[in-house]
Amino acid sequence: MMGPVGQEKAANDPTTVVHRGPSFLSIPSGVRRYGLAIGSVAIALGLALALSRYGIEEIEFPIFLIAVAVTVWYTGVGPAVVAIALASLAFNYYFTKPYHSFYVTREDVPYYAVFILFALLITWFSAVRRRVERNLVQSRDELRREVAIRTQQANLLNLTHDTIFVRDMEDTIIYWNRGAQEMYGWSSEEAVGKRSHDLLKTIFQTSADDPLTDRAATVRAKLLQMGRWDGELRHTKADGSAVAVSSRWSLQRDDRGNPIAILETNNDITERKRREDEIRGLNQQLARRSSELEGTNKELEAFAYSISHDLRAPLRHMVGYTELLQRHAYSTIDDKGRRYMLMILESAKRMGTLIDDLLAFSRLGRTETRETFVSLEQLIKEVQDEVLHETDGRNLTWKIGPLPDLYADRSMLKLAFVNLISNAVKFTRSRPAPEIEVGYSDGRNEGIVVFVRDNGVGFDMKYVNKLFGVFQRLHRAEEFEGTGIGLATVQRIVHRHGGRVWAEGEVGAGATFYVSLPKQ
C-alpha cells in the first residue's frame, strides 16, 4: 500500500501512473446524452409512481413533460425524441387503462396526441432557444475577441508619439490617441464626440492658381476618390497657440465599399516651417542685396571708367606742355628747375600707367568670358617670352612642370599669369640666384590648383589680406615699381572663372601664389 507521503510523491511525479476508476467525462458523448434521456424519463416515472401511491394523481403529464424538457435542454433533439417515446410508453403502461399494457383505446388517442404535441413543442422551443443561446455565446466570444484586438490596437497606437485620431464621415472624433493629447492638449474624453475641424480650427492651404477655391471640399473629394490624402494644415491647440502639421488621411470602408471613417495622422512641422520662412526671407533679402550690389558695382565700374577716361585729356596736356617747357626753357632754368620738370613728367607718366591699369581692371567687370580649350603649358611659354625683357639679362632659373589643359577665357587667364609671373620676376631682382617655379596639383575639392613660386623678398603673412586689394602695396614704390592693381586683376579674373586665389609667403624667403580653377 502507498501511504500519504507516497501518494503525494506519486501525484507530483509526472512519470507515475495513478490508476483511478472511470469518470463521467471519460464516457463517450453519445452514451452520456442518450443515457441522460433514459435516466430523466426513469426519474420522472419513479416520481409519478411515488406520487400516485400517495393518492396524488393526474400529475404524470407535466412530470414527463419536464423530463422531456430537461433532456432537450441538456442533450439536444435526438435524445429528446427518445425521451418522448419512452415517456409515452411509460405513461401508457403505468397510467392508462388497462394498466400494465401497451394497448391504446380510441378515447386515449387525443390524449396521447396532445401529450406528444406538447412534448414536441417543448422540444422545438428548447432547441430554438438552445440554438439562439449558442449563437449569442458565439457572438459574445467574437465580440470579446474583437474588443481585445481593438484594445490591443488602441494600446499600440498609444505607444507611438505621432498624433493619430479617427473621425466618422461627419468629422466627429471617435478615437483620440495619447500622441494627439500630447500635441494638442485635449484629453480623449474632451476630444471624442467633437467635430475635428471645429475643435482644431483647421485651416487648409488655398490653391495658388485659385485662392477662392473651397480647399476643404477639394480635399474631401480627393479623399473619397483616391482613399487617401496628404498635405499641410494649420491647427490651433487647447492653449490657443497655432501649430503647422504634415497631415495624412486614410479612408476606411465597410464590406460593401461604403466610407465609414477617416484615420488622420499628424506630425508637428511648426519649427521646420519657421526655418523655411526664415530661409525664404533671407534668400529674398540676399537676392535684393545682390541686385543692389550688382547695380552698385556696375555704377562703380562705369564711374571708374568715366573718371579714368576723363583724366586722360588733362594728363596728356600736362605731359605735352611739360615736354614743351622742357624743350624751350631748358637752357634758361637752373638744375633745380630741370629736376622739377623731370619729376612732373615721371609723375604724369606714372599717373597714365595707373589710369591704363584702372581702365583694364574696370573693363574686366563688363567683359563676357569666352571659355575655350586652353593649353596651360603653351600659355605659360608665351608669358615667359613677354616678360623676358624684364629679366635684364639676369641668370634667372625657370622650373616649369607639366601643366594641364583646361577650359577658360584664354586672354583673361593669360593676363592673370602675366601679372603673377611679372611680380615673381620683379621681386627676385635683388636675389643673386633668382628662381621661379610654375606647377600644378589636383586639389580635388579645389579643382585644378596652379602655383607660381619664387625665392624673392617675400612678404609678412599678417598683411596677406591686403595683397589683392586695389592700389594695395606691401613695398615702397622706391623699392619696386607698380600700381597695386595687378593682384586685384588676378583675383577678379579667377573669380570670373569660379575659382579662387590665395598666397603664402615669408619675409626674405619668397612667396607662392595659388590659383584654383574648377574642373570642367
Co-location of 103 and 167 in the same domain: no
Co-location of 378 and 512 in the same domain: yes
pLDDT tens-digit readout, 296-335? 777 777 776 676 667 777 878 888 888 888 788 777 888 8
User: Which of 107-121, 189-203, 315-329, 486-500 is modeled with the greatest confidence?
Assistant: 189-203
| Distance set, CA 21 to CA 3, 12, 16, 25, 162 (Å) | 19, 19, 16, 12, 62
Q: Is residue 276 part of a domain?
A: no
Q: Is residue 279 part of a domain?
A: no
Are 63 and 48 in contact, with CB atoms under 8 Å apart? yes
Kindly indicate the confidence band of residue 9, based on its pLDDT and cuts at 50, 70 and 90: very low
Co-location of 447 and 494 in the same domain: yes
Between 185 and 294, where is the model more confident? 185
Co-location of 315 and 373 in the same domain: no
Tell me, what CATH number does 169's domain have?
A: 3.30.450.20
CA–CA dist 148, 316 (Å, integer): 102
Residue 243: the pLDDT is: 93
Co-location of 484 and 389 in the same domain: yes
Mean pLDDT, residues 410-433 taken together: 84
Q: Is residue 457 part of a domain?
A: yes
Among residues 349, 366, 383, the one where a domain terminates is 366
Co-location of 385 and 401 in the same domain: yes
Burial of 119 (0-12, 13-18, 19+ CB in 10 A): buried
Nearest to 429 by CA among 383, 479, 386: 479
pLDDT tens-digit readout, 91-129? 777 877 777 777 766 766 776 677 677 767 777 777 777
- Give the cell for residue 82: 427518445
Q: What is the domain count for the chain?
A: 4
Q: Is residue 312 part of a domain?
A: yes
Helix (H, G, I), strand (E, B) or coil at 237: coil
Co-location of 176 and 61 in the same domain: no
pLDDT tens-digit readout, 39-64? 888 888 888 888 878 777 777 778 87
Kindly indicate the confidence band of residue 457, based on its pLDDT and cuts at 50, 70 and 90: confident
Mean pLDDT, residues 18-26 taken together: 46
CA–CA dist 162, 182 (Å, integer): 9
| Parent domain of 255 | 160-268
Q: Where are the beta strands (DSSP E) in 62-202?
A: 163-168, 173-176
pLDDT tens-digit readout, 334-361? 888 888 888 888 777 777 777 776 676 6
Mean pLDDT of the chain, nearest integer: 78
pLDDT at 485 over 80: no
Mean pLDDT, residues 386-410 taken together: 82
Co-location of 485 and 420 in the same domain: yes
Q: Is residue 145 part of a domain?
A: no
pLDDT at 171 over 70: yes
| Count of C-beta atoms within a 10 Å radius of residue 494 | 22
Tell me, what CATH number does 332's domain have?
A: 1.10.287
What is the pTM assigned to this prediction? 0.42
Kindly indicate the confidence band of residue 12, based on its pLDDT and cuts at 50, 70 and 90: very low
Residue 247: the pLDDT is: 92
Co-location of 358 and 372 in the same domain: no
Between 21 and 373, where is the model more confident? 373
Q: Is residue 282 part of a domain?
A: no
Residue 88: the pLDDT is: 79
Q: Is residue 3 part of a domain?
A: no
Kindly indicate the confidence band of residue 184, based on its pLDDT and cuts at 50, 70 and 90: very high
pLDDT at 476 over 60: no
Nearest to 195 by CA among 214, 173, 169: 173
In this prediction, what percent of the chain has a pLDDT beyond 90?
A: 14
Q: Is residue 283 part of a domain?
A: no
Kindly indicate the confidence band of residue 66, based on its pLDDT and cuts at 50, 70 and 90: confident
Give residues with Cβ within 8 angstroms of 194, minimum separation 6.
172, 173
CA–CA dist 476, 479 (Å, integer): 5
Q: Which of 45-49, 93-97, 435-439, 471-475 has the lowest mean pLDDT?
A: 471-475
Tell me, what CATH number does 407's domain have?
A: 3.30.565.10
Residue 290: the pLDDT is: 79
Between 229 and 332, where is the model more confident? 229
Q: Are strands 435-442 and 397-400 parallel, antiparallel or unpaired?
A: parallel
Co-location of 77 and 100 in the same domain: yes
Q: Hey, what's the torsion of the CAs at 315, 320, 322, 326, to 10 degrees?
A: 160
Among residues 366, 387, 412, the one where a domain terminates is 366
Among residues 72, 103, 136, the one where a domain terminates is 136
> Which residue type is seen at 340?
Y
> Which residue type is seen at 478?
E
Q: Residue 10: phi, psi to the nearest 5?
A: -65, -35
DSSP secondary structure of 370-383: -EEEEEHHHHHHHH
Residue 444: the pLDDT is: 67
Co-location of 232 and 317 in the same domain: no
Q: Where are the beta strands (DSSP E) in 100-172?
A: 163-168
Q: Which of 317-331, 380-394, 461-475, 484-498 has the lowest mean pLDDT?
A: 461-475
Co-location of 310 and 249 in the same domain: no
Q: Are strands 163-168 and 173-176 parallel, antiparallel or unpaired?
A: antiparallel
